[in-house]
Amino acid sequence: MNKKGPQSITLKQVLLWFTGLLMASLLVVNFFLNISSSRDYMQQQLSSHAQDAATSLGLSLSSVVDANDTVMASSMIDAMFDSGYYRHIIYFDVKGDAKVVRHSPMKVGGVPSWFVAWIDLEAPEGKAEVVSGWMQLGSVSVVSHPGYAYEKLWNSLKVELVWFALIGSVAFLVMNLVITTILLPLMRIERQAKSVRDRDFSYRAPMPKTRELKRVAVAMNSMSDRLDKMFGEQLSLIEHLRAQSFLDAVTGLGNRAEFDKRLKAELESEQSAAVGSLLLIQLSNFIVYNQSNGRQSGDALLIQLAEAIKADTLKVTDAFIARRSGSDFSVFLPGVVDEQADKFANDLLHKLAGLHLVKQMCRNDILHVGIASTMTKISLPLFLSEADMALRRAQASGPNGWQRYVLSSESASPEESVKQANEWLTILREILSSKSIVFYYQPVYNNDRSSVMHYQVLSRIKVNDELVVAGVFIPMAERFSLLVDFDRLVVDQVIAMLGQRSNGQGLPFNARLCVNLSVHSIADDEFVGWLLNSLKEHPEEARQLIFEVSEYCLQEAGDSLERLVASSKSLGYEVSIDRFGVAAVPFSYLQHLSIHYIKVDHSFIRDIQNSRDNQFFLRSVLQIAHGQDIQVIAVGVEFEEEWQSIEPLGIDGAMGYYLCRPQEQIEHI
């Protein structure tokens, strides 16, 4: 489980807290000053009130002719005491004996006791003498009752609290509005910085009115423009390199060296199943046509042939095509054998023969196709030789046609091939029904092999108690339109295993699993919707998954792939692009598609120690990818020399049989 780090406080929060605390401090200080001032004022009023009452009562009692007339004195004292503003009134005779005493307990109605204890008003004593002429008759002592003062202060406190709360709330809202307005340019600049981080250089921050923030906005816009230009130049450089080294200048297809390199990797690499068919296509008399009609017409003919061949080849997943020389073309169809390859060659031949410029040659013996198929590993020269022999037999037959290379010992009939296909369909349906797919795991190591970045999930099925790799049964699943069902099964099984692991069961390790999805599944909106819903229902498992798609997806299902990538931010999974560099896709997608990994196709890694072009290509890819925060992984590292060549280039990770073979069980990271 990914643990979130401590969240940093924002500048807006700092300013709001600071100004809020400052205003609250001012209000609190003002409040206490008001309370203190009111208390002092009440204290003075109590003192003055007691003294005034004592003086007035003393004068009144002095008017009594007989000071010993306690009845009259009591009446006068009662008249004053009954007003309720006094704690006690005492009349003393000349000897100091109390003649009249009036006292009331200390009761304060409607005021909390804590407030009374906090204010703690003193009840001052007022004294006055009772005289008749120059003769002293006695004295009076008056102490005011502070209850009224407590009530006044308490009511004043409540009113001030209401006003302070109202003023504080209004002031906080105003401060929030003012600070938000002031910081709005910074938020826009932050948005621009995030866009740059996400490789989107199109956003431009508006110019703020303040001079300092305006300078920052100008600098950010300038930086964004320069990064956009620099990234574009890098993409142009690598595109130019690929065009010069790997593409034919006339048709835009791969050249002979690129085709042979990829075919060698497919046939000899441990990463591949070496199942497929090689087609050599030749248009005869092209030199005569070129001399008669001019180079421009000859180029137009080659382009027309290339486009027609490419259109049919794109229907086969991971197929690739090249112009070998002159009017010779080569096509490799992974997973396509037997009658499938025959049908492909027959349909293609009829399509090429119907092209407008081909018809103009007015001959029906100029188009020929040679086919060689393999189900096991075979050397590149031998495979090319078999296809070439088939091409020569087709040419020897005269009219436009195709021939398959067949050993003299082979006697497999078309009926047997159809029977084998039907058996495959039954086997695949039984696998889907029983959900009896088998998983192997191949680790992807970091650049110094000190740790595992993630594990590649490799699918296997059992046929007659023997394990069959995906490179063999996946083409058959594609043939019978079962790839989407197989991808559903794989995703369901992997999510279930991850769920068991989170419950303390299942896989005993804590690493990401990388699952490869076919182009057909990504192009299926229903499958993508199902996948995203499944990940929403299993958020913990989703964060442990990496979904890998071929670079061909950008041609066939670009919109669905963008949807998958966009959802990765909220659901937590990651996205990897497989077979990077072999599809005819501009690398500009790295600028706007927020992917996490690219896996360089094994054809670039094969014998890289002897290929400066591949080394320069990989170095350029690393520079571009790292500038976009994308990790680059080399696939198909099968020899120490290959590992020793790619490690110094700064590769982020690698996988291959030299590093570690696929494992049925994973003990730990």
Residues 358 and 498 in one domain: no
The DSSP result for 163-185, as a single string, is HHHHHHHHHHHHHHHHHHHHHHH
590 in the same domain as 552: yes
Tokens of 139: 């004295």
Q: How far apart are CA 545 and CA 535, in angstroms?
A: 10
Is-above-0.95 flag for pTM? no
CB-based contact 642:606 (threshold 8 Å): yes
Query: Of the residues 132, 165, 198, which one is the last residue of a structural domain?
Result: 165
Q: Which of 165, 181, 215 is the last residue of a domain?
A: 165
Looking at the fold, whether 517 and 565 belong to one and the same domain comes out as yes
Is 573 found in the same domain as 487?
yes
Question: Which amino acid belongs to residue 263?
Answer: L
Amino acid at 203: Y
| Residue spans of the chain under pLDDT 70 | 1-8, 11-12, 64-68, 84, 106-109, 133, 192, 195-204, 212, 241-245, 271, 273, 407-421, 501-510, 584, 667-669
Rounded to 5°, the CA angle 549-552-557 comes to 80
What per-residue string of b and e applies to 476-485 under the rule 16 or more CB within 10 Å gives b?
bbbbeebbbb
**Is 487 within the bounds of a domain?**
yes
319 DSSP assignment: -
Q: What does the block give as tokens for 404?
A: 């398959």
Is the same domain home to 275 and 399? yes
Give residue 533's pLDDT: 95
pLDDT score, position 51: 81
Do 361 and 503 fall into the same domain?
Answer: no
DSSP 80-123: HHTTS-EEEEEEEETTS-EEEEEE-----TTS-HHHHHHH----
User: What is the maximal distance between C-alpha atoms in the chain?
Assistant: 162
Q: Is residue 154 part of a domain?
A: yes
- pLDDT score recorded for residue 68: 62
CA 215/CA 213 separation, integer angstroms? 5
Rounded distance between C-alpha atoms, residue 636 and residue 641, angstroms: 12
pLDDT, residue 456, reads: 93
pLDDT of the residue at 651: 92
Nearest to 574 by CA among 507, 633, 623, 659: 633
Amino acid at 350: H
Is the distance from CB of 328 to CB of 282 less than 8 angstroms? Answer: yes
Pairwise CA distance, residues 556 & 522, whole Å: 9
- The Cα–Cα gap between 81 and 102 comes to 7
Cα–Cα distance, 287 to 448 (Å, whole number)? 53
Identify whether the C-beta of residue 601 lies closer than 8 Å to the C-beta of residue 582: yes
Is residue 390 in a domain?
yes
260 and 113 part of one domain: no
For residues 266, 268, 270, 272, the Cα torsion angle rounded to the nearest 10 degrees is 20
Q: Let me know how long the chain is.
A: 669
Token duo for residue 49: 């009130």
Has residue 241 been placed in a domain? no
| Structural domain ending residue among the three candidates 131, 165, 199 | 165
Pairing of strands 438-446, 653-655: antiparallel
Q: Quick one: three-class SS letters along 202-217?
A: CCCCCCCCCHHHHHHH
Half-sphere exposure in the Cβ direction for 477 (13 Å, CA): 28
Answer yes or no: is 594 within a domain: yes
Whether residue 283 contacts residue 366, with contact meaning beta carbons closer than 8 Å, is answered with yes
575 & 465 share domain? yes
CATH number at residue 507: 3.20.20.450
Q: Assign residue 56 the CATH number of its domain.
A: 3.30.110.200
Q: How many domains does the chain have?
A: 3
CB burial of 572-587 (b: ≥16 within 10 Å; e: otherwise) equals bbbbbbbbbbbbbbeb
| Whether 511 and 398 share a structural domain | no
Is 190 part of any domain?
no
Residue 354 lies in a domain: yes
CATH number, domain with residue 302: 3.30.70.270
One domain for residues 502 and 624: yes
Give the structural domain span for 153: 45-165
Examine the domain organization and report whether 328 and 363 are in the same domain: yes
Task: Name residue 359's amino acid.
Answer: K
Answer yes or no: do 346 and 450 share one domain. no
- Through-space distance between the first and last CA atoms of the chain, rounded to whole angstroms: 15
pLDDT of residue 418: 46
Tell me, yes or no, whether 213 lies in a domain. no
- Fill in the amino acid letter for 593: L
Which pair of tokens denotes residue 504?
A: 């303390």
Neighbouring CB atoms inside 10 A of 66's CB total 10
Would you state the structure tokens that stand for residue 521, as one six-digit string? 């599944």
Distance CA 290, CA 444 (A): 51
